[in-house]
Amino acid sequence: MTDVTGSLMTEHGRHLSFSDRAATWVAWALAGTIFLTIGWFAMAPDDPLGAVSVLTRHGAWMMLLQAAGLAAVTAALATVIAGRRLPDVGTFAAAVGLAAVSLRGGTAGSLLIQWADAAPVSQSSLPILLALEAMAWFVIVFMARGFSIGVGQWCFGACPEPRRDGGGGHTEGEPLSPRGGATHGIKHMLIAAGAALLTFKILSAGLSTRSVQHGQACFVVAASVCIGSYVAYWLVPVRSALWAILSVPFLAVGGYVWARLSPSPGGLPASVPASAFLRVLPIQYIAVGTAAAVAMFWYLYHPVFESANQSHLSSSHASPEGRG
């Protein structure tokens, strides 16, 4: 977690030591290395210039199974290395790995070209297929999260309840009140998803005639999820990254459905998407969005941030479930 000065914190309010920081960076670097090497062989498109997608590779099911295995292993390793330091560090590592391998392939523009050549009469079905693929990638990330939680509990024991450091009207080490439960979390999830969708639409305005770039696509997704999570935190604060993570597939599927229902402007080259939501690959929606959701949770969970908003938090509900 980070405080307002950018310092990483543990869930107990203790600043991360140099060794703690080194462990987290090693875990994330290892995730990127695994996916950029072994992961690329398992997930590389048939076309050397193609995008990482089940639509650009034969044997899509085998690709997804291999990606799921790598994500689970990566999340488990990250949890063993740095699981005591940060919650959901395994989920973040798996998401970083998937995002890294997507950058090695082509952009969504290359996917559009390949799809236009292969299925010129079924362009309208592409957003639906991409939405289904996004859900498949989310299942992989969510399974990796569950695996990392299991590994963490096996290695370190049951996760302690989230606690405040005394800044928000609670004494040192006093557990947070488990109020709200799933209903509260679902509200947080829907608000985060809705705010992310609107933010994505605003940030991508004016890009309709520009070529697709990986950095541009990833930035818009990350910024949208961060802003959506921030808005949801202020309106319905929760004590778990789970609900922000669950908002990510809503952004992806909602965006693709929006693209499917929107009128398609004519005269665009095959490599330029008709909708801004088609500028992002399904794997990038899920991987970058999940990483952003976890990172934003680390930032928002800092006790100094909480104490500055004591009155808001004391009147809101909080749920402690889903810590990884």
DSSP class per residue in 255-290: HHHHHHHSPPPSS--TTS-SSGGGGS-HHHHHHHHH
Please indicate, yes or no, if residue 5 is contained in any of the structural domains: no
DSSP 14: P
79-108 confidence digits (pLDDT tens): 998 766 778 899 999 999 999 999 999 998
Q: Predicted confidence band at 14 (pLDDT cuts at 50, 70, 90)? A: low
User: What is the pLDDT averaged over residues 228-246?
Assistant: 93
Question: How many structural domains compose the chain?
Answer: 1
| pLDDT at residue 154 is higher than 80 | yes
Q: Predicted confidence band at 270 (pLDDT cuts at 50, 70, 90)? A: low
Q: Predicted confidence band at 166 (pLDDT cuts at 50, 70, 90)? A: very low
Please indicate, yes or no, if residue 301 is contained in any of the structural domains: yes
Q: Predicted confidence band at 15 (pLDDT cuts at 50, 70, 90)? A: low
Please indicate, yes or no, if residue 250 is contained in any of the structural domains: yes
300: domain range? 18-314
Please indicate, yes or no, if residue 226 is contained in any of the structural domains: yes
Residue 107 near residue 50, CB atoms below 8 Å: no
The secondary structure of 130-184 as a DSSP string is HHHHHHHHHHHHHHHHHHHHHHHHHHH-SPPPPB--STTS--TTPBPP--SHHHH
Please indicate, yes or no, if residue 7 is contained in any of the structural domains: no
Please indicate, yes or no, if residue 8 is contained in any of the structural domains: no
Length of the chain: 324
Q: How far apart are CA 273 and CA 207, in angstroms?
A: 10
Note the pLDDT of residue 34.
Answer: 92
Please indicate, yes or no, if residue 148 is contained in any of the structural domains: yes
Please indicate, yes or no, if residue 214 is contained in any of the structural domains: yes
